[in-house]
Amino acid sequence: MPPHQLKQPIGPFALTRTLVWLRLCAIAGQSMAVMICSWWMRIDIPTLPLLLGIDLLAVFAVFAAWRISQPWPVREWETVCHVAADTLVLGYLLHFTGGASNPFVTLLLVPIALSAAALSVPAVLSVAAIAGAAYLVLLRWYVPLPMNELMGTDQGFSLHVAGMGVNFAISALLLGFFINRLAMAVRLQQLEVQRVRERALRDEGILAIATQAAGAAHELNTPLSTMRTLLPELRREHADDTVLDEDLELLEGQVDRCRVILREMVAFGKTQLSQEPERTTLQAFIHGFVERFKLLRPEAELELLVPANLEPLVLRTPPGLRHALINLLNNAADASAMRDSNQVTLEVHRDGDGLEWAVRDRGPGFHPASATASIGESGKQSGLGIGLALAEATAERLNGELIATNTDNGAEMRLRLPLSAITER
């Protein structure tokens, strides 16, 4: 199936695909009915014209199956044309088997019912008009069935009732099965729309935070520059006071650190806008963000578990991945601190066609009230509450997933990313 069609679970494409399978069932059923009536029941019906019509339907079925495998989208008018072709062949077969008096004439209603679940009102009216025109034609022009002469007898009436029973069973099965598939596609589409809406609301919140952070970074640059100018002068003025000089030196170092953080924020924003991935080995990438984490959290005891065969792996890391992992490590360090522990574990391993980053802490774990741990329900009380949201947004942008689970000693966050999104092709 073309990838772009996967985003359209209901509509013309879904109905056209359903008609392909329904057409195959119709070819098998019609062939069996002709053989039973002609060879087993010995009813004198025009077998050759009927088989010719079934062959034409088979040729059209091959074309329709090829058509839905093509990349260009299926339009509504094209689906109506498919329905018209099916109705024309069905009307042709009914013409040689009694016309409107044939018990299977109600099969003309099946395309209308399917169209009503997938097409617009004008398209449904078009399908209904085609089926109605076929029925009116069959009322006037048709080849009578030989058993019509027996309708006044018990044998003829029994055959007609049997045909009606078979027609009812076929219609019930077709409508029940295929309309259920279309209804399931509608439910899947509703779930996808709800998921997209929730993601949009979350991204809107992240964008608002990013806007506020950019404004704060711009405003903080001026007072930091002022402090960076005044602190050396204060140190010179109070050079004799050793204690004060040490405090001022510490403040000067903190101001420089704030300036470095602001410059990194600006550089990260520019990198995000350019969307240029960084080409590096897995070992160098891990070393880079682990060193940054140790500078931010010098008290944390990080245990790093990386298989040696993965270290030479060449990555094309997007800008947000490093910050997502640092956020996960920060959250893990905060959670471990709640139980007076500094231990944090980062394990990297390959899982099939993906690369998994597992961050484990020694904290209280996720909220015990939930049957399964969910993102954002940890017991951590401090922080702004956006670290996990940013990590989850990064995972979704890279077609990955962020999974939260409880362990025996705390909690585990697993960031799983497909290798095709983060490695050299």
Per cent of the chain over pLDDT 70 is 78
Q: Determine the angle formed by the axes of helices 47-68 and 76-95, rounding to 10 degrees.
A: 170
How far apart CA 389 and CA 327 sit, in angstroms, is 10
pLDDT, residue 406, reads: 87
How far apart CA 358 and CA 402 sit, in angstroms, is 10
Q: Are 114 and 15 in contact (CB under 8 A)?
A: yes
H-run or E-run covering 134? helix 121-140
Point out the least confidently predicted range of 98-112, 128-142, 218-232, 348-362: 218-232
**Mean pLDDT in the chain?**
78
Kindly report, residue by residue over 87-122, the tens digit of the pLDDT: 999 999 988 888 888 888 888 888 888 888 778 889
CB atoms within 10 A of CB 39: 10
Name the most confidently modeled range: 18-22, 320-324, 359-363: 359-363
DSSP per residue, 300-354: -EEEEE--GGGTT-EEEE-HHHHHHHHHHHHHHHHHHHTTT--EEEEEEEEETTE
pLDDT, residue 226, reads: 82
- Is the pLDDT at 370 greater than 60? The verdict is no
- Is the pLDDT at 130 greater than 90? The verdict is yes
- The pLDDT of 16-33, averaged and rounded, is 85
Q: Which single residue is written with the structure tokens 């049997």?
A: 162
The confidence band for 271, taking pLDDT boundaries of 50, 70 and 90, is: low
Cα angle: 266, vertex 267, 271; to 5 degrees? 120
Q: Which residue has the higher pLDDT, 240 or 373?
A: 240
pLDDT, residue 270, reads: 59
- Is the pLDDT at 284 greater than 60? The verdict is yes
- The pLDDT of 347-371, averaged and rounded, is 79
Kindly report, residue by residue over 188-232, the tens digit of the pLDDT: 777 877 777 776 666 666 566 666 666 666 677 778 788 888 888
Q: Which residue has the higher pLDDT, 297 or 1?
A: 297
Which of 339, 260, 320 minimizes the C-alpha distance to 295?
260
> Each residue of 306-327: b (16+ CB within 10 Å) or e?
eeeeeeebebebbbbbbbbbbb
Q: Which residue has the higher pLDDT, 381 or 24?
A: 24
Point out the least confidently predicted range of 25-39, 364-378, 409-423: 364-378
How far apart CA 423 and CA 316 sit, in angstroms, is 5
Kindly report, residue by residue over 62-90, the tens digit of the pLDDT: 999 898 888 888 888 999 999 999 999 99
pLDDT, residue 264, reads: 67
Q: Which residue has the higher pLDDT, 269 or 345?
A: 345
pLDDT, residue 1, reads: 38
Q: Which residue has the higher pLDDT, 312 or 261?
A: 312
Q: Which residue has the higher pLDDT, 389 or 356?
A: 356
Helix, strand or coil, per DSSP, at residue 45: coil
- Is the pLDDT at 383 greater than 50? The verdict is no
Q: Which residue has the higher pLDDT, 293 or 57?
A: 57
